[in-house]
Amino acid sequence: MPPHTSTQQVTVAIHAPDVLTRAGLASHLQHDRRFTEAPSDRAEDADVTVVAVDTADASTLGLLDSLSGSAGTRFVLLVGRQWQADIFAAVDHGVRAVLWRDSFTAAAFSQALLAVARGGGSFPPTLQGTLMRQVQWTHREVLTPRGLTASGVSPREVEVLRLIAEGLELSEVAEKLAYSERTVKYVLYGLMKRMNLRNRAHAVSYALRTGLI
């Protein structure tokens, strides 16, 4: 799902446990021309899906799975009481912004929707801190011992992809990096297998799309 530009109207789907909450959220959308509410039968095609919950916990992640479309849904969570879910898992399930109900404002709601629609995110400071600590732990304890970066791709793999993207043949990549051609093939094959990439073109496309090169 590509990010929106500032001139595009953002389509928003709303999932709320009660009629009043849903009506309130829909009212905010109706009073802002930058947004339009997605029809109930096309909710999976929305740019952003707003989910209101009392407590964010493991069952919330299951709910997000059931609401997620095939292209990967971006969620804004409106949380009433407390956060009990794994924030890392929440992000993995598509959560890109969290708002507390007791500090909810129309301006904050609009800003979160726009940020998420444009490919960004918005988390309260406490959750940002928790997320950063989990990222640091994963990098230190899981990725670094395996020679990987936070993207799951090693610096050597990035360099091979960069040279292939520049149009070099594998033999030229090997000469440039002072590797054997067999080593270059091994590096490339290992990356494609781990990331479920079909071929060299797919690998380069993935690297460009995710900002690796």
Which amino acid belongs to residue 105?
T
Beta carbons within 10 angstroms of residue 134's beta carbon: 15
59-73, 119-133, 143-157 — which is least confidently predicted?
Answer: 143-157
Residue 108 has pLDDT above 80, yes or no: yes
Rounded (10°) angle between helices 181-195 and 155-165: 100
Indicate the CATH number for domain 10-124. 3.40.50.2300
Residue 70 has pLDDT above 60, yes or no: no
- What average pLDDT score do residues 62-88 get? 85
Residue 126 has pLDDT above 60, yes or no: yes
Q: What stretch(es) of the chain map to CATH 3.40.50.2300?
A: 10-124
Computed over every residue of the chain, the mean pLDDT equals 85
- What average pLDDT score do residues 152-167 get? 87
The structure tokens listed for 49 are: 């899906």
- What average pLDDT score do residues 67-84 get? 84
pLDDT, tens only, 25-34: 999 999 899 9
Instruction: Note whether 47 and 117 are within 8 A (CB).
Output: yes
Query: How much of the chain, in percent, has pLDDT values that exceed 70?
Result: 86
Q: What stretch(es) of the chain map to CATH 1.10.10.10?
A: 145-209
Looking at per-residue confidence, does 122 or 8 come out higher?
122
Residue 71 has pLDDT above 80, yes or no: no
Q: What is the pLDDT of residue 135?
A: 67
The CATH fold of domain 145-209: Arc Repressor Mutant, subunit A (1.10.10)
Beta carbons within 10 angstroms of residue 103's beta carbon: 8
